[in-house]
Structure 1
Amino acid sequence: MRAIVFDFDGLIIDTETPWYEAFRQIYQEHGCELPLDQWLLCVGTTFSSFDPYEYLERLLKRELDRKRLQAIGERKHRELMEKQDIRPGVLDYLTSARESGLKIGLASSSSGSWVEPFLRKYGLYGYFDAIVTADHVAKVKPDPELYIKALDALGVSGDEAVAFEDSLNGLKAARAAGLHCVIVPNAITRHLEFDDYSMRLSSMSEMSLRQVLKRLKPA
């Protein structure tokens, strides 16, 4: 292998569980429940796959002030994110990849303005040789364009790279671009049924990067 490519949301830091909890609270404040199976449709991609505002309006059978709800959701998410840290093993993997001479990429369906402040906050930004976000593509995951652009930026082919993902949409994108894919689900995405992956870990602290690469088919 010559490169690793990380997802961001839910993989490097679990931003996804706080988002679900924030919207779940909003639903409960309106006397409704937000089904996890519906929310999982938009994990790793955008609200085009599942619009929580539209779904709540359908449940209530009336229109809502979406801008107000968005502001409330963002406030709740910020409060919940104060308790979050990078996921176990992430820094070890980045350090190991750098020491091994591997190229390191990031492919995220989120915008650069969302991703980069977190990377800088946790001292991770400098580890990445290429950062590809929603700003750089026409279609986000599960479309493979993010990964295709990341491979191009890193100068490697799909079979020379391993993607680390936590979502089904991310897995589909990585595999469609020809990468090996290691699934590291979080508290929300562990409920998904994954297939066509190279390996599944409960956490990156479960196994070192070198051990993971040894178990994968060499390029």
Structure 2
Amino acid sequence: MIKAIVFDFDGVILDSERIMYLVTQNLFHRYKVELPLSIWSQAIGTQHGFDSISYLEEHAQVKIDRKAFREERNALFNRLVDEEEVLPGVRSILEQAKALGMKIGLATSSRGDWPRRHLKRFGLSDYFMSIKSWDDVQRVKPDPALYLQSLESLDVAPKEAIAIEDSFNGSLAAKRAGMYCIVVPNAVTKQMPFGHVDGCFNSLQDVSLDKLIRYFSSELRAQA
């Protein structure tokens, strides 16, 4: 029986990935360098997946002040992302999970203060029994460590939990942990391959948690 649901944060609860891509892309344009989404997507859902500054230096044939670049990028990013609201359907899924008596966790490759600040801003902190982040593991997604720690913290088995992801790296981590995983791709992840997941939705607004649980529970019974 499904007992828990574990959310990713960036791209699932907050539309931060699109904003970071647009901000970085705009900075690249100063040097007349394009940043293809296919290249940028290597960084999504993980840490150190793509060194954007090295890429810019190579293609612009210039030396970049890394500290100044990061400070400007992060200042622009934070200003824009602080204006964003929680993504559609998130509150509905949280309320559905609460009504069903499910345990709710979060597993993110970001530092822990990042999701906590925005969950508090959205008024969503109290829904989460467990938050596992970059600070808690030696390797982030696509390694399964974040999800394995979430399962342990929530005291559930892998097949008793559903992960909600938006990226290839994140969904791969969930499947490697042995969990069910559904994905809700966004503007910067929709081109990624998701043939390994258990469901793909345009929006969390389209998800009935009760139907999803009944489907996965019947699948488990069929495998028994």
TM-score (normalised: structure 1): 0.96
TM-score (normalised: structure 2): 0.94
Q: How many residues align?
A: 218
Q: Say if 2:24 is the partner of 1:23.
A: yes
- Residue aligning to 2:168: 168
- Residue aligning to 2:36: 35
For 2:141 and 2:152, locate their aligned partners in 1 and report how far apart those are by CA, in whole Å.
17
Give SS of 1:39's match: helix
Report the alpha carbon displacement of residue 30 of structure 1 after superposing the two structures with TM.
1.2
Give SS of 1:164's match: strand
Give SS of 1:4's match: strand
Q: Which amino acid in the other structure matches residue 11 of structure 1? A: V
Give SS of 1:56's match: helix
Q: What does the per-residue CA deviation read over 1:95-144, in whole Å, with 9 as the maximum and x for residues that have no partner?
A: 11111111111000001111110010001111001110010000000000
Give SS of 1:131's match: strand
Report the alpha carbon displacement of residue 217 of structure 1 after superposing the two structures with TM.
3.9
Question: Given that residues 57 and 63 in structure 1 are in contact (C-alpha distance below 8 angstroms), is that contact kept between their aligned partners in structure 2?
Answer: yes
Q: What does the per-residue CA deviation read over 1:82-103, in whole Å, with 9 as the maximum and x for residues that have no partner?
A: 4421111101111111111111
For 2:80 and 2:118, locate their aligned partners in 1 and report how far apart those are by CA, in whole Å.
14
Question: Given that residues 97 and 209 in structure 1 are in contact (C-alpha distance below 8 angstroms), is that contact kept between their aligned partners in structure 2?
Answer: yes
Q: Which amino acid in the other structure matches residue 31 of structure 2? A: H
For 1:103 and 1:119, locate their aligned partners in 2 and report how far apart those are by CA, in whole Å.
17
For 2:42 and 2:190, locate their aligned partners in 1 and report how far apart those are by CA, in whole Å.
13
Percent identical: 38
Q: Which runs of 5+ in 1 are unaligned?
A: none
Question: Given that residues 198 and 216 in structure 1 are in contact (C-alpha distance below 8 angstroms), is that contact kept between their aligned partners in structure 2?
Answer: no
Report the alpha carbon displacement of residue 28 of structure 1 after superposing the two structures with TM.
0.4
Q: Which amino acid in the other structure matches residue 41 of structure 2? A: L
For 2:35 and 2:80, locate their aligned partners in 1 and report how far apart those are by CA, in whole Å.
18
Q: Which amino acid in the other structure matches residue 116 of structure 1? A: R
Q: What does the per-residue CA deviation read over 1:62-81, in whole Å, with 9 as the maximum and x for residues that have no partner?
A: 32101111111112212321
Q: Which amino acid in the other structure matches residue 134 of structure 1? A: W
Q: Say if 2:145 is the partner of 1:145.
A: yes
Question: Given that residues 105 and 154 in structure 1 are in contact (C-alpha distance below 8 angstroms), is that contact kept between their aligned partners in structure 2?
Answer: yes
Q: Which runs of 5+ in 2 are unaligned?
A: none
- Residue aligning to 2:192: 192
Report the alpha carbon displacement of residue 153 of structure 1 after superposing the two structures with TM.
0.2
Report the alpha carbon displacement of residue 184 of structure 1 after superposing the two structures with TM.
0.7
Please list every run of at least 4 consecutive aligned residues from structure 1 whose deviation after the TM superposition is greater than 4 angstroms.
none
- Residue aligning to 1:5: 6
Q: Say if 2:24 is the partner of 1:56.
A: no
- Residue aligning to 2:215: 215
Give SS of 2:104's match: strand
Q: Which amino acid in the other structure matches residue 145 of structure 1? A: A
For 1:113 and 1:205, locate their aligned partners in 2 and report how far apart those are by CA, in whole Å.
27
